[in-house]
A and B are shown apart, each in its own frame.
Chain A
Amino acid sequence: MTYKALSEAVIKGDVNQAKAETQKAADGGADPQHVLDDCLIAAMDVVGEKFAQGAMFVPQMLRSAKTMQACVAVLKPHFRGGGMTTKGKVILGTVKGDLHDIGKNLVAMMLEGAGFQIVDLGVDVAPEAFVKAVHEENGQVVGMSALLSTTMPAMAETVKALENAGKRKELKIMIGGAPVTAEYADRIGADSYAPDAGTAVTEAKKLLNAQ
């Protein structure tokens, strides 16, 4: 079964309509995981694609992401037993010495919309704090952001710290931010470079072989 009205409401960012449709589906006995995967996340995939093509813009993307979050909140009480299945856990942060959070927040929203679980460590995150979070949270991907050429070396330090902690092999590392390049990602031994929030989603999926 598909829920066309719900998908359309998420793509449009019509939060009231989307919540009402979600409630209707849940009350009608729909499998919440099915609504989440095949409707909400699928709608956000469309948003991500449109954004990548330049057919949707940041405010529209945010609106859709917020709409989806509201729908997930409606859906949550209907999950029984195992709870929600996610695509994987991503630990995100802006690196040490850097306070810029806009890009990192957009990435968090889009990854969440795509069905990943996010642990957002915030800004000015020291290498040790990334290591600690990896230990505690058991994430599969670490995503780092830097907006300054002077804070980029903290990305390399964090990769090293994760290596020294013996965690590197079980992790995928993704980096991004205005001065960051694919070449830099290669140089410091990161697995992936994402120039924008849309790419972060496709890269995270690739890294975890998720659909």
Chain B
Amino acid sequence: MIIVGELINTSRKRIEKAVREQDAAFIQQIAKAQAEAGADYIDVNAGTFLEKEEAYLPWLVQTVQAAVALPCCLDSPNPAALNKAMSVHRGVPLINSISLETDRYDQMLPVITRAPCKLVALCMGQTAMPTTSQERVLAAEQLIDALVRVGIDLPDIFIDPLVQPVSVDTRMGTAALSAIGAIRERHPQVNIICGLSNISFGLPERRLINRYFLALALGKGLSAAILDPTDRAMSAALKTARMLLDQDEYCSDYIEAYEGGILSNT
């Protein structure tokens, strides 16, 4: 299971302030907390700064990597910002994201072929958001096909089925879940990733919904998630689900979490 720690995102007010004030210590503290909680990648997103994103994204990479020995997830649709961030990144970054939308794909191609990287590939259609499971599976097939052709290895492709809110259409949960199942069946080697917060938009007690969705998605073959690793209840759900899915030999992670006090009062 691959965890991408989502907290360093300038759409969060405290992060936005820290980036604007170039408060490296604050950013590093958040990076360390996520690393200690089990993150495999630290997501960095400076999208709210628009033009200044090109300066802030590489600054975030350097700031984070000075504090933790982890690769970053470079979270931007902006090729110029990604290029600058990749230039200063140590190790192999996870780039978030590419999709089949014609302009976007063409603009991203030089970015993803210039240096080794892993890639989040969104199951977005060329002209519309996907609604059904079939549309997602079709987009996944096209993405995998295109990315393999430019030399990306299957395990370096992280398919994101695009989770949409159940509040708006109650079929959205099963649409994403059955897409995860179908993609997993066809491609045992690719990674399948998703963000967990979209599912609960527009509803109360969002974290509860997010946790259950994570467990259900893991059951379908999700292998990576963008989440807050410091959220104890989320970690508890993740560890419990993995144990139940035979992904935790001798239930050791689960028991370790119990001993670490992570499972109580969640």
Residues B177-208 near A (CB distance < 8 A): 201-204
Decide yes or no whether B103 CB sits under 8 A from chain A: yes
Contact B50 A62 (CB under 8 A): no
Distance of A97 Cα from B103 Cα, bound (Å): 8
Residues A182-201 near B (CB distance < 8 A): 184
Nearest to A151 among chain B residues (CB) is: B77
| Chain B min CB distance to A54 (Å) | 8
Residues of B within 8 Å of A97, CB to CB, are 101, 103
Q: If the complex has contacts A99-B129, A100-B129, A102-B168, are A152 and B50 also in contact, measured as CB distance less than 8 A? A: yes
Known A-B contacts: A57-B167, A59-B168, A102-B129. Give 10 more (CB < 8 A).
Answer: A57-B202, A58-B168, A58-B202, A58-B203, A59-B167, A59-B202, A97-B103, A99-B124, A102-B164, A178-B11
Decide yes or no whether A179 CB sits under 8 A from chain B: yes
- Chain A interface size, as a band, is 20 to 34
Decide yes or no whether A149 CB sits under 8 A from chain B: yes
Decide yes or no whether B229 CB sits under 8 A from chain A: no
Q: Name the contact of B50 in the complex, choosing from A59, A105, A106, A149 (C-beta under 8 A).
A: A149
Nearest to A59 among chain B residues (CB) is: B167
Distance of A100 Cα from B53 Cα, bound (Å): 22
Decide yes or no whether A2 CB sits under 8 A from chain B: no
Decide yes or no whether A108 CB sits under 8 A from chain B: no
Nearest to B46 among chain A residues (CB) is: A149
Q: Can you list 20 A-B contacts (CB < 8 A)?
A: A57-B167, A57-B204, A58-B167, A58-B168, A58-B203, A59-B170, A59-B202, A97-B103, A99-B124, A99-B125, A99-B128, A100-B129, A101-B129, A102-B201, A105-B168, A123-B129, A149-B50, A179-B11, A179-B47, A184-B50
Decide yes or no whether A150 CB sits under 8 A from chain B: yes
Residues of A within 8 Å of B127, CB to CB, are 99, 124
Distance of A82 Cα from B88 Cα, bound (Å): 66
Tell me whether chain A's interface is mostly helix, strand or loop, or mixed: loop
Nearest to B78 among chain A residues (CB) is: A150
| Chain A min CB distance to B250 (Å) | 42
Interface size on B, residues (CB 8 A): 24
Decide yes or no whether A148 CB sits under 8 A from chain B: yes
Distance of A101 Cα from B128 Cα, bound (Å): 9
Decide yes or no whether B134 CB sits under 8 A from chain A: no
Q: Using an 8 Å CB-CB cutoff, how does the interface string of A102-136 with B read, 1 for contact, 0 for none?
A: 10011000000000000000011000000000000
Decide yes or no whether B165 CB sits under 8 A from chain A: yes
Residues B128-170 near A (CB distance < 8 A): 128-129, 164-165, 167-168, 170
Residues of B within 8 Å of A99, CB to CB, are 101, 124-125, 127-129
Distance of A62 Cα from B202 Cα, bound (Å): 11
Distance of A62 Cα from B168 Cα, bound (Å): 7
Distance of A181 Cα from B16 Cα, bound (Å): 13
Distance of A54 Cα from B202 Cα, bound (Å): 10
Decide yes or no whether B29 CB sits under 8 A from chain A: no
Distance of A54 Cα from B203 Cα, bound (Å): 9
Residues A156-181 near B (CB distance < 8 A): 178-179, 181
| Chain A min CB distance to B125 (Å) | 8
